[in-house]
Amino acid sequence: MSTTASTVPASGGMTREHRKVILASSLGTVFEWYDFYLYGSLAAVIAAHFFSSLAPGPAFVMALLTFAAGFAVRPFGALVFGRLGDLIGRKYTFLVTIVIMGLSTFLVGVLPTYETIGMAAPIILVLLRCLQGLALGGEYGGAATYVAEHAPQGKRGLYTSFIQTTATVGLFMSLLVILGCRLALGNEAFSEWGWRVPFLISFVLLAISVWIRMQLNESPLFQKMKEEGKRSKAPLSESFANWSNGKIVLLALLGATAGQAVVWYAGQFYALFFLTQTLKVDPVTANLFIAAALAIATGGFIFFGWLSDKIGRKPIIMAGCLLAALTYFPIFKGLTYFANPALAEATRNSPAVVVADPKDCSFQFVPSELKSHVKFNSSCDIVKNLLNARSVSYVNEEAPPGTLASVRIGETVIQSVDIRNLSPEDAKAAQDKLAADLAAAVDAAGYPKAADNSQMNKPMVLLLLTILVIYVTMVYGPIAAWLVELFPTRIRYTSMSLPYHIGNGWFGGFLPTTAFALVLWTGNIYSGLWYPIVVALMTFVIGSLFLPETKDVDITHG
């Protein structure tokens, strides 16, 4: 491929070189997402091997926090590798990121456990996880920029949309490999040593990715800029210290990627969490539903990328954010009605009301794995904890100070207990009696312990999940092209990477945790939806008012 800007045609069909660029960039990004999600999929197994000095609950939480570290450092990876990409080139920078990701993942597969090297094991694991996050922070911006700078004018939305499918494909590749290893080795062998195999496989994927990317030439726009001596000497200061560009970075975060991120995570991860944890749909069924919805709707990434070349990036992404914000409540209530109709009926006919002194109620935001280690002993806390465990949505009614909490389910009123001044034996007996009485009342009101597959309206559940994924494809399909076109070539890699990874790493990555906290705070199973709704509406307003349409921008200059 020639290294001049003239190789970027104004129009025409997709050439062999274009397909090579898209395949190499997308395949490498798929492998990076595969590596990134392996850890999350195997968090429980990893906890047993690397945090075995802790009790099972805290060990699992530590493993999840280590997984979250990968999200937390993604913006810093965007800064480091974005700067390198604007200084030395797109090709070599995202070649470096995939090597770091692949080697970090491989090293997790050979890392000695806590029983072998003690505290060094979890410390090294956290460091490797941070390296994965840093690498991913540099990968996406490089891949998107590289593809966009090869794309013909008028087809950047279509070309970059292939990059947008990679996160979903990488996630399912990781799940497929894990499932295959479990079936081939058996659960016992997999838990003991077979969990390392998916990590070790990443070395093969690394070799393939490096070989493919080594065949590529540098981006023609970057090469032209380099030959003309127009490269940025200080990409970070030009991107963020210069208000004219820094303002666009901030607007891209608040008016584009923040809303895109919450719609992406709500439509896939939170929807799965809602099915399994709130509606009590068995995990296999829930995963099959999500997988089917993704299979049906994933083509939307390509469609909306193509459509954005015709009508613009901005109207599609803004429409996706607005539709999500306006319809999340009816869609998730519909999921309850069709996936667990007994729960919907019980909630409607026998609503639960907790009557308590607000000062007696704690914010029980503790992961379920820690509930046995953190005690909430007030009468309000005890009854709310029991209701949460059964996914019983409730409202709060204020009682006079010092009042013992009670719960009203339909016409039945159950008094709670205060065990703070009781002996351990009496406290246990009182809690057991309350739990039995409350369970009987909940059962009598028709609240199910689990969703009944035979009563489930599967076509409607699939339809609603597919709509959620279509929203995902609307906001995510055109976002890469929009970000690329917002910034000049000399600082494009740096400028687009930071808002993307703050939006997706922080606003999106912590959505399930934030939403779960809101549910626990209010007692309403739908309260968690306020977080993505508010962020999506913020993005709709800011993006609509302050961000420009860019589909006709000529990115060969600047």
User: Which DSSP helix (H) or strand (E) runs through 354?
Assistant: strand 352-356
Is the predicted pLDDT of residue 5 greater than 50, yes or no? no
| Per-residue confidence (pLDDT) for residue 226, from 0 to 100 | 67
512 occurs within a structural domain:
yes
- Here the CATH number for the domain that contains residue 155 is 1.20.1250.20
| Per-residue confidence (pLDDT) for residue 3, from 0 to 100 | 34
Is the predicted pLDDT of residue 376 greater than 80, yes or no? no
Total number of domains in the chain: 3
What pairs with residue 415 in β-bridges? 406
Strands 394-398 and 406-409: unpaired
Helices (H), 215-312: 220-227, 235-236, 243-252, 258-265, 271-273, 283-297, 299-311
The pLDDT confidence band at residue 7, using thresholds 50, 70 and 90, is: very low
| Per-residue confidence (pLDDT) for residue 368, from 0 to 100 | 43
* pLDDT, tens digit (0-9, with 9 covering 90-100), for 267-322: 988 898 899 878 989 877 887 888 888 889 989 999 999 999 999 999 999 999 99
Q: Which of 525, 443, 408, 440 is nearest to 416 (CA)?
A: 408
Range with the poorest average pLDDT among 28-42, 89-103, 252-266: 28-42
| pLDDT, average across residues 175-183 | 82
| pLDDT, average across residues 207-227 | 76
Looking at the chain, how many residues does it have?
558
| pLDDT, average across residues 480-507 | 88
As a whole-number percent, the residues of the chain with pLDDT over 70 amount to 89
2 occurs within a structural domain:
no
* pLDDT, tens digit (0-9, with 9 covering 90-100), for 120-130: 888 898 899 88
| Per-residue confidence (pLDDT) for residue 73, from 0 to 100 | 87
Whether residue 222 is found in the same domain as residue 270: no
pLDDT, averaged across the chain: 84
Whether residue 75 is found in the same domain as residue 214: yes
Chain-centre distance for alpha carbon 172: 14
Whether residue 438 is found in the same domain as residue 487: no
DSSP letter (8 states) at residue 256:
I
Whether residue 204 is found in the same domain as residue 142: yes
| pLDDT, average across residues 479-505 | 89
Is the predicted pLDDT of residue 196 greater than 80, yes or no? yes
Range with the poorest average pLDDT among 204-213, 374-383, 385-394, 528-537: 374-383
CB-based burial of residue 48 (10 Å sphere; 0-12 exposed, 13-18 middle, 19+ buried)?
A: middle
The pLDDT confidence band at residue 521, using thresholds 50, 70 and 90, is: confident
Whether residue 24 is found in the same domain as residue 163: yes
Range of the domain at 350: 346-444
The pLDDT confidence band at residue 361, using thresholds 50, 70 and 90, is: confident
236 occurs within a structural domain:
no
Is the predicted pLDDT of residue 257 greater than 80, yes or no? yes
Strands 394-398 and 352-356: parallel
| Per-residue confidence (pLDDT) for residue 178, from 0 to 100 | 82
Is the predicted pLDDT of residue 445 greater than 80, yes or no? yes
Q: Which residue, of 193, 212, 231, is where some domain finishes?
A: 231
More confident residue, 390 or 354: 354
Whether residue 203 is found in the same domain as residue 56: yes
Do 357 and 401 contact (CB within 8 A), yes or no? yes
Whether residue 214 is found in the same domain as residue 274: no
More confident residue, 558 or 184: 184
| Per-residue confidence (pLDDT) for residue 221, from 0 to 100 | 67
| pLDDT, average across residues 346-350 | 91
More confident residue, 376 or 471: 471
158 occurs within a structural domain:
yes
DSSP letter (8 states) at residue 233:
S
More confident residue, 1 or 120: 120
* pLDDT, tens digit (0-9, with 9 covering 90-100), for 450-468: 899 999 999 999 999 999 9
As a whole-number percent, the residues of the chain with pLDDT over 90 amount to 35
DSSP 323-343: HHHHHHHHHHHHHHHHH-HHH
**C-beta neighbour count of 397 within 10 angstroms:** 12
User: Which DSSP helix (H) or strand (E) runs through 345?
Assistant: helix 341-349
Is the predicted pLDDT of residue 165 greater than 50, yes or no? yes
Whether residue 439 is found in the same domain as residue 455: no
Whether residue 359 is found in the same domain as residue 435: yes
237 occurs within a structural domain:
no
**C-beta neighbour count of 347 within 10 angstroms:** 22
* pLDDT, tens digit (0-9, with 9 covering 90-100), for 89-98: 777 887 888 8
Range with the poorest average pLDDT among 138-152, 406-420, 521-535: 138-152
| pLDDT, average across residues 313-333 | 98
Q: Which of 514, 507, 501 is nearest to 133 (CA)?
A: 501
**C-beta neighbour count of 547 within 10 angstroms:** 21
Is the predicted pLDDT of residue 106 greater than 60, yes or no? yes
| Per-residue confidence (pLDDT) for residue 317, from 0 to 100 | 98
Residue 425, CB half-sphere, CA atoms under 13 Å: how many?
A: 0
Do 201 and 111 contact (CB within 8 A), yes or no? no
Q: Which residues contact 370 (CB under 8 A, 6 or more apart)?
A: 57, 58, 61
Whether residue 406 is found in the same domain as residue 482: no
Whether residue 474 is found in the same domain as residue 504: yes
Range with the poorest average pLDDT among 56-60, 402-406, 476-480: 56-60
Q: Which residue, of 444, 468, 494, is where some domain finishes?
A: 444
Q: Which residue, of 444, 468, 491, is where some domain finishes?
A: 444
Do 146 and 21 contact (CB within 8 A), yes or no? yes
Q: Which of 511, 4, 3 is nearest to 259 (CA)?
A: 511
Whether residue 462 is found in the same domain as residue 438: no
Do 269 and 129 contact (CB within 8 A), yes or no? no
Q: Which of 235, 451, 194, 252 is nearest to 343 (CA)?
A: 451
| pLDDT, average across residues 220-238 | 70
